[in-house]
Structure 1
Amino acid sequence: MIPIGGQVTTDSNEAQVPSLTWKLDFDRGKVVGKTDGFDAVKQAAYKILQTDRFAYLIYDANYGSEMAGLIGKSPLLVESELHRQIREALIEDDRIHDVSDMTISIEGDVASVVFTVVSIFGNFEGEVTTYV
């Protein structure tokens, strides 16, 4: 995600990315203004989990998730890997401190995951559904 406005500041040796960014309407496939703070982090979390890691040159190797690689794997492996992959994908964003209270349910070839994202702007519930 390319932030707009503000400057990248450094604290110690760690860069802090500004939170102000384009607000996306995923249903209509349009940019509908700008968003910041809590809503920007919620949008970022959604976008991170919807983007396949390594699939797009615009993103570095730390952006996105690898859930597509779980298709056809055993349910026990899927559950363990979903927990790890979702947490690792989201905490790459420096505004997200933790992912907790994860509940995974697998029915047939679909896994549904509900979790709490702990961010610098507050906590929110995340949800992702993927084929396995």
Structure 2
Amino acid sequence: MYSAHGHYEISVENKILFIEAYGPWNLEAAEEFDRIVREQVTVHLTGSPWAMIARLHGQGIYTPDSIPLLQELHMWRIASGLTHIAIIHENREDAGTGITEKQFNTIYKADPDRLCEERYFKDLDDAKTWLRSVGY
């Protein structure tokens, strides 16, 4: 087993799960992330609709072996009330941004009924404005 590569900070405020992610990530980091997200959602958000803001710093690229785990986590989050995701790339000019968005779209395709809406933003203010417009 390898050590986790990539890290994150998670907080919850007003029915929004905030994630600050620093990548790239390997499977071990994704497994740790899965565990912590489930704990935070269970303690703070389950029982009513909630949203998520993910700010990506650096290259948010995942190793291919972590994608199935993240797809399963995505479906669990939706079952636990997740309705909207705002994704912010801190450096949209980074060469890895296109790859990251493609990987995220693969993860979100685990939701074939589109029960959760996701959008990409350039900054936190735009993401918060969108979430306020949909009730958060």
Please, what TM-score do these two structures have when normalized by structure 2?
Answer: 0.26
Hey, which of these two has a bigger chunk of helix by percent?
Answer: 2
Structure with higher RCO (Cα < 8 A, 6+ apart): 2
Hey, which of these two has a bigger chunk of strand by percent?
Answer: 1
Please, what TM-score do these two structures have when normalized by structure 1?
Answer: 0.27
